[in-house]
């Protein structure tokens, strides 16, 4: 992460708000930015991006310094090719062969969201401070 100065040291971030809780993950993918965000809070909540490496960042609330999500940049172009388990659950063509209508798509999406979140957290948890805690939140 040469050249990127963090606003605060990573060790000052907290996970006390989410500790012991399980949150259905909210997934947001921005095609133009090629970024996946996994949140345990409303996407309307203000967050700050705290980079851990060139692609993986923690999202935290600026007032409380509480970690509330993850952001993966270059998700489809850089991250997915390196992580087969994430790619497998991300691709609908591999996850469900029986999509017949929008209802099937919605049901499949709701079923796959937690799987995608778990796989992303699983492959990034060794990079992340509080990786085990975040894994428990999105388990």
pLDDT digits (tens, 9 = 90+) for 85-137: 999 888 876 656 677 888 887 888 888 888 898 899 888 888 887 788 888 77
Helix (H) or strand (E) holding 98: none
pLDDT surpasses 80 at 1: no
- Report d(CA 104, CA 71) in Å as an integer: 27
Dist CA 19 CA 29 (whole Å): 25
Mean pLDDT of the chain: 85
Predicted TM-score (pTM) of this structure = 0.84
What does the alpha-carbon distance between residue 78 and residue 81 come to, in Å, rounded to a whole number?
A: 6
CA distances (Å), origin 85, targets 28, 74, 88, 101, 126: 19, 17, 5, 26, 16
């Amino acid at each position: 992460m040469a050249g990127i100065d963090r606003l605060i040291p990573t060790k000052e971030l907290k996970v006390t708000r989410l500790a012991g809780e399980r949150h259905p993950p909210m997934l947001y993918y921005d095609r133009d930015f090629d970024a996946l965000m996994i949140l345990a809070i409303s996407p309307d909540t203000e967050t700050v991006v705290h980079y851990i490496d060139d692609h993986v960042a923690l999202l935290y609330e600026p007032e409380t310094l509480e970690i509330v999500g993850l952001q993966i940049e270059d998700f489809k172009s850089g991250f997915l090719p390196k992580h087969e388990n994430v790619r497998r659950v991300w691709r609908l063509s591999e996850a469900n062969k029986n999509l017949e209508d929008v209802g099937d798509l919605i049901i499949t999406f709701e079923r796959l969201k937690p799987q995608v979140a778990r796989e992303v957290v699983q492959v990034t948890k060794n990079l992340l401070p509080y990786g085990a805690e975040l894994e428990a939140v999105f388990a």
